[in-house]
Structure 1
Amino acid sequence: MIDTAIPHKPNPTFEGLKRNKVWLASITILILLAILSPAQARFSLAFTLDALLHTAPFLILSIAIAAWAGATGADSLIARVFTGSPLLMIGLAALAGGLSPFCSCGVIPLIAALLSMGVPLSAVMAFWLASPIMDPSMFVLTTGVLGTEFAIAKTLAAIGLGVMGGLVIYLLARGGALADPLRAGIGNGGCGASNLRTPQPVVWKFWTAPERRAKFGREAVKTTLFLAKWLVLAFLLESLMLTFVPAEVIANTLGGTGIGPIALATVVGVPAYLNGYAALPLIGGMLEQGMAPGAGLAFLVAGGVTSLPAAIAVWALVRPKVFTLYIALSLSGAFLCGLLFQTWMGS
């Protein structure tokens, strides 16, 4: 018998949503709200659109920065900071990590290349700890959502955490510890190693080259979609938090000026952290409801370095003792940064 059934053609839009769980989560939230509480659905949708409109100028600038860095090849300059004396390398690596436009997919293979080629773990750790916390586009977005003061504090926290971690690793390594930090089989460096092994010249006038103009467009679209999906989810969650989380709960849990709220925010930041961009509006809403500024900074720093994707990547790359040090340095550094920021804000 001939099968005359019409073959099923999957809907490409639906299939794309199934693969992109962030967009699917946002749509699911809106659908559930529309069914269970239409008024809340209207409020959440209006809140999200208004928040996106408010941050649009900063989004456009951050997208342009990310696309420009990729199109010009400016990220290849990062390899030049890993030369010189160990202490100088730690400082430069922390500065580069806090200011560079590297994304998580580019940092991990570059770290593997640096370690496999003999760059000291102290300098690599300084860059590694600072990189997830701040970059130029993150600085712009943090300024738009939390203010310039918070953005500067977060930048200093990134650099300070990198320097602290690098110095600790340097002292431990001088005693003979931490030899051969990479797991067995890791060491080819992946695609990110090309910036170190064969650095390409930076083309500042990228628009003169068709392939670089095309790359600028691809990077702009990729960054736009990346930011949009996380910020939409974050603003939706913030709208729900404003409605269902009483202000006094936030104030009582993470408010105040003692070390307790900062310590709690440091620990809570690990499982509760969504994404560097998504966390900003969430922290903004919590600050408005009474969260201590130091606790907010501790949450962002700890969550940025120890978020699940970052932790999994580190675990897959280095030996357990290095991973343990990475987590310990992240949490202790985040707590110290939050405590210093809270002290400064209260002075």
Structure 2
Amino acid sequence: MFIFDWLNNQLLKMQWLSDLTESLVENVFGLSISDRLGGSIHFFIYDVLKIFILLSVLIFIISYIQSYFPPERTKKILGRFNGISGNILGALLGTVTPFCSCSSIPLFIGFTSAGLPLGVTFSFLISSPLVDLASVILLASIFNWKIAIAYVVVGLVLAVVGGTIIGKSKLEKYIEPFVLNNKMAEVEQEELTFKDRIDFSKNQVLDIIRRVWLYILIGVGIGAAIHNWIPQSIISAALGQDKWYSVLLATFVGMPMYADIFGTLPIAEALVLKGVGLGTALSFMMAVTALSLPSLIMLKRVVKMKLLVIFVSVVTIGILIIGYTFNIYGYLLL
């Protein structure tokens, strides 16, 4: 147990980096981390470096594994499953694709064009931005493993249930015709060499870092401001765990925003440290990543309004249920 705690603190929470950053702030900048300014600088530098280090390592590993499952092979695997087993597999596939909601939509179009069941593709679309292996590790590094695992479980349940509801509703006629008529060509995939997979993984790291670095900086900056500058009384008055509307407010505030899950994690961390309910913070994070306005605008181009409304309604209701459940029972995970 001691070894596990040590590894968790040093490798995931990176206590060594926190200590190094504290030394930098106090000895180089001449500030105390107990003060607002020093605490904000420490929070910002430590969280930014930790997220970028973990993200780079994890995306590299995930991308190397992903190189064995190109879209054509994935389509063939998914095509063998129907019903609930297909929804589960689609949701699980989303966990190994480190994409934001906008990046997941082209794959959603490809899978739908290939003739995969609509419910399976929507399970993938819900799961992909919401739950991935990198975010699990980052959640564990910020909170703990119990919260990280619980988040994965509820995220997968939401993806499976949401996809199943949409699949059972027989809504194929609400897919835009060009998607269904745009059949994917059967292309034989070349076998990649070890060097090809390494290059692919490095390129994925660089590509994802290029796409998310700004959101990470903004998210950590907001987190630092919440943590050190906004009084707890103000946050509690708006989003306190005793407020019945806190989850509802956090969900609908998060929906118009656009950010990767890696950019919303520091905000969720700061909110929880200020006394906001765990479910409220997670609801905000899930709404931003799964129901961002840019991704809904993109999705509207490939599905008709009725299907879009059903998708948003199902996911929103699921997020609200998850948020209130975590607020009630979250103390068991802290």
If the length of structure 1 is used for normalisation, what is the TM-score? 0.75
The equivalent position to 1:232 in structure 2, one of 217, 228, 236, is 217
Deviation at 1:56, TM superposition (A): 5.2
| Cα distance in 2, alignment partners of residues 109 and 81 from structure 1 | 17
Task: Give the corresponding residue for 1:341.
Answer: 326
The corresponding residue for 1:295 is 280
Q: Of 46, 49, 69, which residue of structure 2 is paired with 1:50?
A: 46
Asked whether 1:96 is paired with 2:93, we answer yes
Q: 2:106 aligns with which of 103, 106, 109?
A: 109
Give the counterpart of 1:306 among 288, 291, 296.
291
For the pair shown, the structure with the greater C-alpha radius of gyration is: 1
Q: How do 1:138-217 residues align onto structure 2 when only pairs under 5 Å count?
A: 138-173=135-170, 178-187=171-180, 197-198=186-187, 200=189, 203=192, 206-207=193-194, 209=195, 211-217=196-202
Structure 2 gap ranges (5+): 1-34
Q: What whole-Å deviation, never above 9, does each CA across 1:114-152 have from its counterpart, x for those lacking one?
A: 223332212221221111101112222222223322221
SS in 2 for 1:74: coil
Find the aligned partners of 2:328 and 2:226 in 1 and give their Cα distance. 27
Q: Tell me, yes or no, if the aligned pair for 1:255 and 1:291 is still in contact at 8 Å.
A: yes
Partner of 1:34: none
1:66-123 CA-partner distances (Å, limit 9, x unpaired): 44245x3434453212423323212222222234434546532222232233322122
Give the C-alpha shift of residue 62 in structure 1. Answer: 2.1
Structure 2: how far apart are the matches of 1:199 and 1:69?
19
Q: Is the 8 A contact 1:295 1:338 kept in 2?
A: yes
Match of 2:117 among 115, 120, 137: 120
Q: Distance in 1 between matches of 2:137 and 2:189?
A: 27
AA of the residue aligned to 1:300:
M
Q: CA deviation at 1:328?
A: 0.4
Q: Deviations over 1:287-315 (max 9, x none)?
A: 00011011112212222111122212211
Equivalent residue for 1:281, pick from 266, 271, 274: 266
In the superposition, relative to structure 1, how do residues 200 and 136 fare at CA in structure 2: closer, same or farther (>3 Å)? Answer: farther
Match of 1:5 in 2: none
Q: Aligned AA for 1:339?
A: Y
Residue 325 of structure 1 aligns with which residue? 310
Deviations 1:211-270 (A, max 9, x none): 444333322322333343322222222222234422112222222256422222222221
Total equivalences in the alignment: 296
CA distance in 1, matches of 2:238, 2:99: 34
Q: What is the SS of the residue equivalent to 1:118?
A: coil
Corresponding residue of 1:86: 83
Letter in 2 for 1:186: V
Match of 1:68 in 2: 64
Query: How does the TM-score come out when normalised to structure 2?
Result: 0.77
Specify the alignment match of 1:35 in structure 2. Answer: none
